[in-house]
Amino acid sequence: MLGGIDPVVLIAALMVASVPILLAAIGELVVEKAGVLNLGVEGMMIMGAICGFATAVSTGSVWLGFVGGALGGAGLSLIFAFLTQIMLANQTATGLALTLFGLGFSSLIGQGYGGMKPPPIGPVPFGPLADLPVLGKILFSHDPMVYVSIAVVAATAWFLKKTRKGLILKAVGENHDAAHALGYKVVRIRVLAILFGGALAGLGGSYVSLVRVPQWTDGITAGAGWIALAIVVFGSWKPWRVLLGAWLFGGITVLQLNMQAAGSWLPVQYLSMSPYLITILVLVVMSADRSRAAMNAPAALGKNFQASR
Amino acid sequence: MNRRTLLTSVAAATAVASLPRIALAQAPVKVGYIYVGPKNDGGWSQHHAEAVAKAKAHFGDKVEIVEQETVPEGADAERVMTQMALGGAQLIFATSFGYMEPTLNVAGKFPNVKFEHATGYKTAPNMSAYNARFYEGRAVCGTIAGRMTKSNKIGYIASFPIPEVIQGINSTYIHAKKVNPAVEIKVVWAFTWFDPAKEADATQALIDQGCDVVLAHTDSTAPLATLKKAGAYGFGQAGDMIEYAPTPRLSSVIDEWAPYYIERIQALLDGTWASQNVWYGIKEGMVGIGAISDAVPAEVKAEAEALRDSIAAGTYKPFTGPLNKQDGSAWLADGEVAGDDVLSGLSFYVEGIDAEIPK
Amino acid sequence: MLKLEKRASPSTFWTWAAPVVAVALTMVVGGLMFAALGKNPFVAIRTIFWDPLFGEFAFYFRGQLLVKAAPVILIAVGLSLGFRAGIWNIGAEGQYIMGALFGGGVGLAFYPAEHWFIFPLCILAAALGGWLWGMIPAILKVRFRTNEILVSLLLVYVAQAFLASMSLGLLKNPEGQGFPGSRSLAQYPATANPELIAGTGIHWGVIAAAVVVLLTWVLLDRHILGFQIKLAGQAPRAARFAGVSPSRLVLLCMGVSGALAGLAGFFEVAGPAGQIKIGFNVGYGFSAIIVAFLGRLSPLGILLAGLLMALTYVGGENASTNLGLPSAAIQAFQGMLLFFLLAVDMFTNYRLRLVRRRVA
């Protein structure tokens, strides 16, 4: 017992709370592994939130809603892909513009969806498993997207580590000129990675509007996209560590609120700084170690590629 | 051309233009509104905008409304209000606390334009302040909450440690305690007015801590959505949120700005507008109590409605002694009513609340 | 098929034509959006781009353009130095906040005393605050090779949490009826940063921005340091041979950009914003990154880009108020403008070539 907090309940709660940032962060991880820095995660998430919500409301299917959300996020990321990969615009500036545009455009689409309720989504029926002590609550009481998000982590880890395509993607992120010389289509691979990142950010956004809150309001993602960016770094570009990071970031918020509810006084502002400070510390430790730093951070991150021939 | 000559020439032009038409119709009077959030935020700004729409419908052609949503509190607010004043607005409503200083500044520059600032405490000869006694609504909700809780734990999602919120927490606790001496209140500070995901998390945290009735002092409907999933009770905040009735929404504290807006615009039309600093409650109709749902037993409903009516009649004030401060020192003697000067800057809890106000 | 080919030197024609083309394209696409929302696109475009400059109330809005543009330009010029040298400070928002807290904090420590030296002292403290916040990623980069993009971004959140804590605690106005936020800096004569010439919008921040633009221009054009910065960005290896210390450059660029952001923060809270409170920072630090790139990292370009950005804010607001356009539409419109500017800008450095594919 942590000052009157049931750790089982806390873990179950943070697993749910961290789904949006986890999905978005995994998407961004793949994008960054391909050597692209897309700071527009927040914009793509909120586009996913409204597109997913609108689709779910009009079709009555929450699953189509998730698909719609992923498409919405991917659609917006296409603009980023076009500008940075074809028109060679600066990635930092384009990403920021993407967020600005996404926030405005989502709110435009969303006019008229306020006050509506999306179709509900229940927990996966695990039957008696859900009644197990401790494990039942932590492992077998969630809605399907919680499991989907963890599956995405596993799939991404496998893809990056075990498949040839994953290796190519990483090669492009390390040194695009060398990858190009080897005959790989740098731009095509990066565009695909950006689309994947957009789709996952959109999926994460639609989880907010369809499950977490369930409703649509302007600015509903409230900065989750920025946290996702931090998590990628915290996880040192490794999928399983990103999962850990998402739980830490999601967990601090949940823990903070729970501790308040349990009546323990704490300096909320300083606590909410802590994950960022920890992330910086992790970064420093990681980069101080020469051998490990080289393996994780994509060397060509944020640099544009233009084939000279 | 400097500002003053321009303003006079604009005024002159309007006067000349309106002369021949006087027999037909008066030129519409321009009234401006600025909101801190989007007009469809489902909370604070939306309820102001809805009230403005009612005022507009009430006055028809006599009044022209100009609005600006999502105005940051600071230099931007000053610019938007200046622009409205230059554009001929004769009365401008600034609908968020953070607009207080900007409104004061603009009011100083345009002595002939009238200003109304919501929830602040500063006024000027051409600037009024208006605020609602939300805590009166909390008294009614607190009574229902005290009766409806089975775990004897009531949750309160607080936004920022400002007097309005502290009044709300105290009022809720005092009235829940009155009907249920065993009741406890747990407070979570969200440090935001509007962050649906965080509000949902805060609600869940309170539920996990055993609360089965949760009041929110933040603006979204996310707490109600979470309460619905958990099978707990809550109340509408700012708006009626009737779509969550009969459960989890048992009743609501509604911001009723429309009557005030109509009253003040009418005063402008009549030429009787004067600067004032009002703090209206249930009696004046600025705080509304939403229909109490069927999930509430009839005798509790009757009790809550009686409380509401006594507040409306002015026979009962929610902060009436005997009340001690949290540290046990005396605050109000038996039958003593808290003065507005103390209430409007309230910065302490009453005795019995086991929590601390963040510093 | 079409192929991009790098120009030997940036095209002079496109340097000037690109922004014009971008604005024109935005007007077309944005106009379509306004039309789709049921508004007259021509009136909307005129309200955004023309009225603030030449409309009935331009005498007021011209000054407001300066108020809105000055902090962004001040920050962007500082950032551009680092960007030129390949040093990516994207945490100016945090440095802006820390500058405001340091500057404002020092000023309020003297409250209610009146001394001539308080205001200059605040300015120094603000620069110091921003500089310190910028030095954290700089030192980590120099010492541990930690990625400065990420550290500077993360420090924005830390600064925001710090701002919240200060607004609720140490700096809270004791006479503020319990509301979070500091005493008014604008109403405390010793710290106030008022409009210097009535009706012009010019305050000390505007003057600082103008001076910094000028100084940077001289620096880049005339000074050896400017040459080193440019060289480090274009040819890092050559720069090292030329005796440019990369570490020194990182410390310098991050420090200068941090200090300038800090200054902008103080001028804002002491003037237009009026006080330190949660959310006084409205994203100027991020806007400045975009402005730096739109201005092609040159001081003059940044000046123009900053003013253009301010124009879309002020004009967009007018369109929103007067035509009833949702503010979201304005935000989307600004996003579009940035997209087009970024896209069209390619033609300054590249040309499109029609190349025939060799038949295999």
What would the pLDDT profile of B174-222 be if each residue is shown by its tens digit?
999 999 999 999 999 888 888 888 898 899 999 988 999 999 998 888 8
Residue B167 scores a pLDDT above 60: yes
Domain ranges across chain A: 7-115+128-228
Claim to verify: residue B153 and residue B89 sit in the same structural domain: no
Residue A1 scores a pLDDT above 50: no
Tell me A57's DSSP state.
Answer: H
Task: Give the per-residue pLDDT at B14.
Answer: 42
Average confidence score pLDDT of chain B: 88
Closest chain C residue to B119 measured between Cα atoms?
Answer: C179
Task: Give the per-residue pLDDT at C357.
Answer: 59
Task: Give the per-residue pLDDT at C44.
Answer: 92
Residue B354 scores a pLDDT above 90: no
Claim to verify: residue B108 and residue B176 sit in the same structural domain: no
Whether C179 and B162 lie within 8 Å, measured CB to CB? yes
Both tokens of residue B91? Answer: 């009365």
Give me the domains of chain C, ranges plus CATH numbers. 1-39+325-360 (no CATH), 68-323 (1.10.3470)
Tell me B285's DSSP state.
Answer: T
Claim to verify: residue B123 and residue B176 sit in the same structural domain: no
CATH number of the domain enclosing B181 = 3.40.50.2300
Q: Do the domain assignments include residue B173?
A: yes
Helix (H/G/I), strand (E/B), else coil: B128: strand
The CA distance from B14 to A280, in Å, is: 61
Confidence tier at B110 by pLDDT (50, 70, 90): very high
Task: Give the per-residue pLDDT at B18.
Answer: 40
Q: Could you tell me where the DSSP H helices lie in chain C?
A: 12-36, 41-49, 51-54, 58-84, 92-109, 118-144, 148-168, 204-222, 224-234, 236-241, 246-270, 284-294, 299-323, 327-344, 346-349
Claim to verify: residue B151 and residue B297 sit in the same structural domain: yes
* pLDDT single digits (tens) A256-271: 888 888 877 677 777 7
Confidence tier at A290 by pLDDT (50, 70, 90): low
Q: Do the domain assignments include residue B53?
A: yes
Confidence tier at B31 by pLDDT (50, 70, 90): very high
Whether C168 and B358 lie within 8 Å, measured CB to CB? yes
Average confidence score pLDDT of chain A: 87
Q: Which is it for strands B249-255 and B287-289: parallel, antiparallel or unpaired?
A: antiparallel
> How many domains in chain B?
2
Claim to verify: residue B121 and residue B149 sit in the same structural domain: no
The CA distance from B165 to B157, in Å, is: 10
CB neighbourhood size of C12 (10 A)? 9
Chain A CB contacts of C90 under 8 Å are: 39, 92
Residues of chain A numbered 173-212 and touching chain C (CB < 8 Å): none
Residues with Cβ within 8 Å of A163's Cβ and at least 6 positions away in sequence, in order, are: none
**Backbone φ and ψ of C139, nearest 5°:** -65, -40
Closest chain A residue to C91 measured between Cα atoms?
Answer: A92
Residue A305 scores a pLDDT above 80: no
Please indicate if any CB of chain C lies within 8 Å of the CB of B67.
yes
Chain B CB contacts of A9 under 8 Å are: 208
Residue A61 scores a pLDDT above 60: yes
Claim to verify: residue B321 and residue B225 sit in the same structural domain: yes
Partners of residue B66 on adjacent β-strands:
B32
**Backbone φ and ψ of C10, nearest 5°:** -55, 140
Chain C CB contacts of A276 under 8 Å are: 154-155, 157-158, 161
Task: Give the per-residue pLDDT at C356.
Answer: 65
CB neighbourhood size of C313 (10 A)? 22
Pair B255, B238: CB distance under 8 Å: yes
Of residues C162 and A289, which shows the higher confidence score? C162
Whether B97 and C179 lie within 8 Å, measured CB to CB? yes
Partners of residue C354 on adjacent β-strands:
C2
Tens of pLDDT, residue by residue, chain C (360 residues): 567 777 877 788 888 888 889 889 999 999 999 999 888 999 999 999 999 999 888 888 999 999 999 999 999 999 999 988 888 898 999 999 999 999 999 999 998 888 999 999 999 999 999 999 999 999 999 988 888 887 898 899 899 989 998 998 889 888 887 788 899 898 898 898 888 888 788 899 999 999 999 999 998 888 888 888 888 877 777 888 877 888 888 999 999 999 999 999 999 999 888 899 888 888 899 889 889 988 888 999 999 999 999 999 999 988 988 888 888 888 899 889 889 988 888 888 788 777 665 554
Residue B258 scores a pLDDT above 90: yes
Residue B20 scores a pLDDT above 70: no
Whether A261 and B209 lie within 8 Å, measured CB to CB? yes
Whether A104 and C333 lie within 8 Å, measured CB to CB? yes
The CA distance from C25 to C269, in Å, is: 36
Task: Give the per-residue pLDDT at C134.
Answer: 96
Claim to verify: residue B115 and residue B208 sit in the same structural domain: no
Confidence tier at A132 by pLDDT (50, 70, 90): confident
Task: Give the per-residue pLDDT at A291.
Answer: 58
Q: Do the domain assignments include residue B16?
A: no
Q: Do the domain assignments include residue B62?
A: yes
Chosen domain end from B132, B165, B198: B132
Both tokens of residue C1? Answer: 């098929």
Q: Do the domain assignments include residue B19?
A: no
Residue B4 scores a pLDDT above 70: no
Chain B CB contacts of A269 under 8 Å are: 191
Which of B70, B204, B237, B326 is the best residue to mutate to test the A interface, defined by the most A CB atoms within 10 Å of its own CB?
B204
What's the rounded mean pLDDT across residues B224-249? 88
Claim to verify: residue B128 and residue B166 sit in the same structural domain: no
Residues with Cβ within 8 Å of A192's Cβ and at least 6 positions away in sequence, in order, are: none
Q: Do the domain assignments include residue B162?
A: yes
Above 0.90 for ipTM, yes or no?
A: no
Whether A261 and B221 lie within 8 Å, measured CB to CB? no
Which of B46, B188, B240 is the best residue to mutate to test the A interface, defined by the most A CB atoms within 10 Å of its own CB?
B188
Residue A81 scores a pLDDT above 70: yes
Residues in chain B: 359
Which of B39, B73, B81, B341 is the best residue to mutate to test the C interface, defined by the most C CB atoms within 10 Å of its own CB?
B73
Whether A260 and B187 lie within 8 Å, measured CB to CB? yes
Distance from CA of B132 to the nearest CA of A (A): 24
Claim to verify: residue B126 and residue B174 sit in the same structural domain: no
Claim to verify: residue B238 and residue B116 sit in the same structural domain: no
Chain A CB contacts of B43 under 8 Å are: 217
Task: Give the per-residue pLDDT at B283.
Answer: 93
State which residues form the domain around B114.
28-132
User: How remote is the C-alpha of B50 from its chain's centroid?
Assistant: 14
Q: Do the domain assignments include residue B18?
A: no
What is the sign, positive or negative, of the torsion defined by CA atoms of B95, B119, C187, C74?
Answer: negative
Pair C332, C48: CB distance under 8 Å: no
Residue A83 scores a pLDDT above 90: yes
Claim to verify: residue B68 and residue B142 sit in the same structural domain: no
Whether A261 and B200 lie within 8 Å, measured CB to CB? no
Both tokens of residue A303? Answer: 């640099």
Chain C CB contacts of A101 under 8 Å are: 331-332, 334-336, 338-339
Confidence tier at B22 by pLDDT (50, 70, 90): very low
Residue B331 scores a pLDDT above 90: yes
Helix (H/G/I), strand (E/B), else coil: B18: helix
Distance from CA of C331 to the nearest CA of A (A): 5
- C129-155: b or e for each residue (b if 16 or more CB lie within 10 Å)? bbbbbbbbbbbbbbebebbbbbbbbbb
Task: Give the per-residue pLDDT at C9.
Answer: 79
Pair B131, B118: CB distance under 8 Å: yes
Select, from the ranges A72-86, A102-116, C7-21, the one with the highest average predicted confidence (pLDDT). Answer: A72-86
Closest chain B residue to C325 measured between Cα atoms?
Answer: B68
Please indicate if any CB of chain B lies within 8 Å of the CB of C9.
no
Of residues A108 and B5, which shows the higher confidence score? A108
**Burial environment of residue C278 by CB neighbours within 10 A (0 to 12, 13 to 18, 19 or more):** buried
Residues with Cβ within 8 Å of C243's Cβ and at least 6 positions away in sequence, in order, are: none
What's the rounded mean pLDDT across residues A103-109? 90
DSSP string, C131-191: HHHHHHHHHHHHHH---HHHHHHHHHHHHHHHHHHHHHTTT--TTSTT-SS---SSSSTTT
Task: Give the per-residue pLDDT at A298.
Answer: 80
Task: Give the per-residue pLDDT at C355.
Answer: 67
Claim to verify: residue B167 and residue B293 sit in the same structural domain: yes
